[in-house]
Structure formats: C-alpha cells, structure tokens
Structure 1
Amino acid sequence: MNWEREITVEGKIFQVTISDDHEALRSAFAEGRAVVGLWDRERADQNLNPAAYVVEDLKDIDDVFLERVIRRREGLPWNIVKTQRLTIREFAPQDFVSIPDEPEAGISGSLFLKEEPLKDYICHQYGFYEYGIWALVDHEKGLLVGKAGISNLELTDQEEFFSAIKKNDTPVELGYHIFSPYRQQGYGKEACMAILSYAALAVSERIYARIDERNLASIKLAEDLGFRLIARTHSGSVPRLCLYEWNYS
C-alpha cells in the first residue's frame, strides 16, 4: 500500500511517500522524495529500507511529523519549540559565523565555532539522537542570542555522581549559554522552561544539570526551574560540581 502526501516547508512544496513496500520506498527515495515506512508487525520479512522513519499506524502521522521527516531529508533544521521571544531550533551549518568565542560557554566547547565540526554535530547528534544543543533565536530581532538543550550526561572522573543516578536510567542533562550581549534579559529562563517541557515528552522525564558551585546565577536558575540538589563532587575536586535533578510532574 502506498500513500502520497504534500507538505509545504518554508514556502516550498515537498512530496512524501508512505509505504509498506520496499521497492516503492526505494524508488521514491531515489527520486529525491522523503519516505516513511509503514511497519506491519505480522510480516517478519518486511524490508522498509531506505526509510529513516517508520510508523505502525497511519494515525501516527501528522503534518508536524511529516515536516520533520522532510527537514531531515533536505538537511533543514528542525524547529523544536517557540516561546514568546525565542525560536528554539537545531543549529544550521551557517550559524557558526554568528557564534562568539566566549571561553565560559562550556557547552560543546569550541565545537560550534568551526563549520566542519558543526556540520558533523548536526549530522550525527541530531540525526541519531534527535536532541542536542539547539540555537536560541530571537525571532523578532532575527538574532542568535545563545544556545541550550539536552545532552547525554557523561560522568567521566565524577564517580561521586554514579550512586545518585537512578538505576536503569540513561541520563541526560540540561545545558545553556546566553551570549554576553544578551544576558540579564530573561532569555535563559525562558529557553530552559520551554526545553524542559519539550524534553519531558520527547526525551526523558528526568533531567540532570551539573553546575560549578561558584556559579550562583546558574544555581538560582536551576532552583527556579524546579531542580533539586542530589550530589556534589568531593571537596578535593577542582572545580567542585553540584548535580541537580529535575522530574516532570
């Protein structure tokens, strides 16, 4: 069975083929169309390549889903969520020219300052996990004001935190950085509130945050967002880090 849909993305019309047939998917993909596989759990030999997205029921498909399928196929950034002032979206390769070199940024270090590493991040992080560090764009001013998002929590050399992480948890953490010209304008809280609401449904209901105990502004923001302190690194660690946890409720 084959279905064809048309979706408009950024003013351009794209076709999407939805099918449970390998040859139909392969042909549509070769012609440059986005494709979605329709999975039949009763068919053990079903081949849905080259579909990167598969659904079991047509009811699972809506325009938002199809737009994301198209954006991934065309190399266009996903729009994650909008707030009153911000469009939170995936980074695009050209964004690197708008990212200032601020040593305290922390999130992914200097990765976002070079075009090729940013392209690799977009391809592998977004393409595999479908979450990561996102661009914060003031949609009225058209300015990139910072970055924030959800990353996998890596605990190398922070053994003190292992016992605080819930068993069978695949931990993720919230991170954010507002560029210096745009600080103290509420962007950080506005972005993080929206990201937590989105991530609780799309990524995990439990989200962590690691904060240098000297960073009082970030600690206050975390507490305002509903994070609670659950662990600290030992006093011998430099800098001493605090582990905070947030739960969706």
Structure 2
Amino acid sequence: MIDFPLRTARLVLSPLAPDDREAFLAYRQDPEVARWQSWTPDYSAEQADALLAGQPAELVSEDGQWLQIGVRAQDGGLVGDVAVHSLADQPDTFEIGVTLASSHQGHGFAREAVRAVVGALFAKGAHRVMAQADARNLASARLFEALGFRHEARHRDADWFKGEWSTLDVWALLRSEWT
C-alpha cells in the first residue's frame, strides 16, 4: 500500500529490518521509552527477532497486521519507529503509534515521521487513521493535536495496563480532514 522509502527533510522511513535489531532492542529496553508502551523494559532479543521476522511484506487494508516502520536519520541511524495497524474489521482504517529512542525525543522527529506516514496512508486511499494513548502521556496528546487529529474519546479506567487501571484517549483523522 505505501511505497517505501518515505523521505522527509531529515528522515528516511521504511519497514524495520534485521539490521535495525540492536538499536530497536536498545530503545525497547529503555524504561522511559517503555513507560507508555505495551512492552516492558525486559523486552528480549528473542522478542525483537520474532517481531522483525514476522513483519508483513506490505501493509494491506483489513488484514489486521501491524507493520513497524523504521524512522531513520538521513545518516541511516535508527531513531525510532511508527507502527501501523490495518484494522481487520474496517476497510481503509488504520491505527498508528510512534516510539522514539529517548535521545531523539523532543526534536520534532515524531511529528515529521507520523506526518509522512499519515500522508502516505491517505495518498493511497486510507479513509481514517486513529491512535490511542494513555491520557497521562501528554507528549502523545500534543503530537496528535499538532497534526490535526481530533480527540474523539476518553475511556476512563478502561485499560488494565502494567498493574493499574489507566484512562485511554482516542484520536482520529479522516482523509477529508487531512491538509
């Protein structure tokens, strides 16, 4: 669905590959990065290998798979990834998430990368792109607001997450709203 690589002023985006393993594993094991993510800092090399080996060849509407798109600086170094999930029960509808290594946060890379991925999804016919984030994750809220996503819902104490109930915010954008 998306023609890779995607290029921005500072980044090159393409699906994660085996060469990304060490950098990917390093930020997945960082407690500050893992804080708002579904994994924990004890993320293993075996888990990384399985994720990298299980990547789909392409992103297909309604296949229900996740594709991890590596976010690389122009010099080739991995700074993070944008995860894209094709919803199995909704045509042309995708969920996204973004993860950056701690050392690359706060420089606008997430905004630049997500903008490129969302733009590519809409250019290829996506109808809707949505995201979910813990309501305490203020950086995610700022990111989605800055990109024009609409705050659609707040699900209070709806997610049992890392040993406690958490509140989820849902953000979404339609192709007709994308500029």
One fold, TM greater than 0.5?
Answer: yes
Q: Larger radius of gyration, structure 1 or 2?
A: 1
Q: Is the 8 A contact 1:96 1:113 kept in 2?
A: no
Give runs of aligned pairs for residues 73-92 of structure 1, distance below 5 A. Answer: 79-92=4-17
- Indicate the residue corresponding to 1:138 in structure 2: 73
3-state DSSP of counterpart to 1:137? strand
Change in Cα spacing, 1:236 to 1:193, as seen in structure 2 (3 Å) is closer
SS at match of 1:240: strand
TM-score (norm 1): 0.55
Provide the aligned C-alpha RMSD in A: 3.1
Task: State the shift of 1:225 in Å.
Answer: 0.5
Per-residue deviation, 1:118: 3.0
Q: SS where residue 199 of structure 1 aligns?
A: helix
Matched, 1:241 2:168: yes
Cα distance in structure 2, aligned partners of 1:178 and 1:116 = 19
The structural deviation recorded for 1:113 is: 6.6
Q: Does 1:223 align with 2:145?
A: yes
Shift of 1:126: 2.9
What is the percent sequence identity of the aligned residues? 23
The reply on whether 1:116 has 2:38 as its aligned counterpart is: no
Residues 1:210 and 2:135 are matched in the alignment: no
1:177 corresponds to which residue? Answer: 99
Tell me: CA distance 1:107–1:152, structure 2 relative to 1, closer, same or farther (3 Å): farther
Maintained 8 Å contact 2:128/2:172: yes
Q: CA deviation at 1:142?
A: 2.4
Measured against aligned partners, the alpha-carbon deviations of 1:61-95 in whole angstroms (never above 9, x if no partner) come to: xxxx9xx9xxxxxxxxx733100010001111121
**TM-aligned CA deviation for residue 206 of structure 1:** 0.5
CA distance, structure 1, for counterparts of residue 123 and residue 45 of structure 2: 27
Cα gap change, 1:212/1:146 in structure 2, threshold over 3 Å: closer, same or farther?
same
Change (3 A) 1:191 1:127: closer
The one-letter amino acid paired with 2:11 is: L
CA separation of 1:83/1:240 partners in 2, compared to 1, >3 Å: closer, same or farther? same
Structure 1 residues 236 and 128: CA distance shift in structure 2, 3 A: closer
Given that residues 209 and 243 in structure 1 are in contact (C-alpha distance below 8 angstroms), is that contact kept between their aligned partners in structure 2?
A: yes
Alignment-derived partner of residue 126 in structure 1 = 57
Q: In structure 1, the residue corresponding to 2:5 is in which secondary structure?
A: strand
Cα deviation code 1:175-233 (max 9, x no counterpart): 10110011111100010111110011236220111011111111011011111111221
The 5 A counterparts of 1:1-249 are 79-99=4-24, 100=26, 101-102=29-30, 103-104=34-35, 106=37, 110=43, 114=47, 116-122=49-55, 125-127=56-58, 129=60, 132-139=67-74, 141-153=75-87, 169=91, 171-202=93-124, 204-235=126-157, 237=159, 238-249=165-176
Cα deviation for residue 244 of structure 1 reads 1.0
| Structure 1, unpaired ranges of 5+ | 1-64, 69-77, 155-166
- For 1:126, what is the secondary structure of its paired residue? coil
Question: How high is the TM-score relative to the length of structure 2?
Answer: 0.74
Query: Cα 1:200–1:143, aligned 2, differ >3 Å: closer, same or farther?
Result: same
Name the SS for the 1:230 alignment partner: strand
Aligned length: 159
1:127-164 deviation per Cα after TM superposition (whole angstroms, max 9, x unaligned): 5739722001101x32110101311358xxxxxxxxxx
